[in-house]
A and B are shown apart, each in its own frame.
Chain A
Amino acid sequence: MTKVLAIEDVVGGLESGMTVGIGGWGSRRKPMALVRAICRSSLRDLTVISFGGPDVGLLCAFGKVRRVIAPFVTLDSIPLEPWFRIARQRGLIEFTEYDEGMFMFGLLAAAHRLPFLPTRAGLGSDVMTINPDLRTVRSPYSDGEELVAVPALTMDVALLHLNRADQRGNAQYLGPDPYLDDLYAKAATRCYVSCERLVTEFKEGPVQSLLISRSMVTGVVETPGGAHFTSCEPDYGRDEAFQRAYLEATTSADSWRNFAQRYLSGDEGDYQRAVAG
Chain B
Amino acid sequence: MAEILSLREAVASLVRPGDTVAMEGFTHLIPFAAAHEVIRQGVTDLTLVRMTPDVIYDQLIGMGAARKLVFSWGGNPGVGSLHRFRDAVENGWPRPLELDEHSHAGMANRYVAGASRLPFAVLRGYRGSDLATRSPTISTVRCPFTGEELAAVAAVNPDVTVIHAQRADRDGNVQLWGLVGIQKEAALAAERVLVTVEEIVDALDPRPGAVVLPSWSVHAVAVAPNGAHPSYTAGYTVRDNDFYQAWDPISRDRDTFLAWMRAHVLEAA
Contacts and interface: CB of A to CB of B under 8 A. Distances in A.
B14 to A, nearest CB: 26
B246 interface: no
Interface string A95-121: 000000000000000001111111110
Contacts of A140: 120, 139-141, 152
Interface residues on chain A, size class: 20 to 34
Contacts of B145: 115-116, 135, 149, 151
A48 B69 CA distance: 47
Nearest to A113: B124
Interface string A134-166: 011111110101010101000000000000000
Contacts of B143: 115-116, 149
Contacts of B140: 140
Contact of A139 (B120, B123, B144): B120
Contacts of B1: none
A117 B122 contact: yes
Nearest to A209: B208
Contacts of B148: 115
Contacts of A151: 145
Given A206-B206, A208-B208, A208-B209, A114 B122 contact: yes
Given A116-B144, A135-B144, A143 B150 contact: no
Contacts of B139: 140-141
A118 B152 CA distance: 10
Interface string B64-97: 0000000000000000000000000000000000
Interface in B114-166: 118-120, 122-124, 139-146, 148, 150, 152, 154
B135 to A, nearest CB: 12
A124 to B, nearest CB: 16
Contacts of A112: 123
B118 A141 contact: no
Interface in B196-225: 206, 208-209
A119 B208 contact: no
A143 B157 CA distance: 14
Contacts of B146: 115-116
B111 to A, nearest CB: 16
Given A135-B144, A140-B141, A208-B209, A120 B118 contact: yes
Q: Which of A114, A119, A140 has the most CB of B within 10 A?
A: A140
Given A116-B145, A119-B118, A147-B119, 8 more contacts: A112-B123, A114-B123, A139-B120, A139-B152, A141-B119, A141-B120, A149-B144, A206-B208
23 contacts: A112-B123, A113-B124, A114-B122, A114-B123, A114-B124, A115-B146, A116-B144, A116-B145, A116-B146, A118-B118, A118-B120, A118-B141, A136-B144, A137-B144, A138-B141, A139-B119, A139-B152, A141-B139, A141-B152, A149-B145, A151-B145, A207-B208, A208-B209
Going nearest first, the 8 A-B pairs with the smallest beta carbon separation are: A135-B144, A207-B208, A140-B139, A139-B119, A115-B143, A115-B146, A143-B119, A151-B145
